[in-house]
């Protein structure tokens, strides 16, 4: 649903089925931002986040975590692990796109 909305809004999207595929895709086609669900088959979101932050090719890419695990503690833990933002599911697509645009703009400002 989110990928279709982003594409409808003119945002290029590449998807992955699990964390390992996500890492592979992000390394091959470095994105402006990553939207990450914590609950994925195979390599989960926590492992993805850890590996992405340790990989020099991915370390600077902002990651927006989108998860049904909505406790304040989870949001704090994801940020401590290197996520740029945390949104709780269900989340309207407009809010997610707005957050992605915010973290991408913030990254561009830091790089100047």
pLDDT digits (tens, 9 = 90+) for 53-96: 999 999 999 999 999 886 788 999 999 999 999 999 989 999 99
The pLDDT of residue 80 is 95
Secondary structure string (H, E, C) spanning the chain: CHHHHHHHCCCCCCCCCCHHHHHHHHHHCCCCCEEECCCCCCCCHHHHHHHHHHCCCCCCCCEEEEECCCCHHHHHHHHHCCCCEEEECCCCHHHHHHHHHHHHHHHHHHHC
pLDDT digits (tens, 9 = 90+) for 30-48: 999 999 999 888 998 999 9
With cut-offs at 50, 70 and 90, classify the pLDDT of residue 6.
very high
pTM as predicted:
0.92
- Cα(78)–Cα(5) distance, integer angstroms: 25
- Cα(88)–Cα(90) distance, integer angstroms: 6
């Amino acid at each position: 649903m989110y990928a279709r909305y982003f594409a409808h809004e003119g945002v290029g999207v590449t998807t992955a089925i699990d964390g390992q595929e996500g890492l592979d895709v992000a390394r091959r086609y470095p994105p402006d931002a990553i939207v990450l669900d914590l609950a994925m088959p195979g390599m989960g979101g926590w492992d993805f986040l850890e590996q992405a932050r340790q990989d020099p090719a991915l370390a600077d890419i902002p990651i927006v975590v989108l998860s049904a695990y909505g406790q304040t503690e989870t949001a704090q833990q994801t940020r401590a692990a290197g996520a740029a933002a945390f949104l709780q599911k269900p989340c309207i697509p407009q809010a997610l796109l707005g957050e992605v645009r915010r973290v991408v703009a913030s990254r561009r400002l830091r790089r100047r």
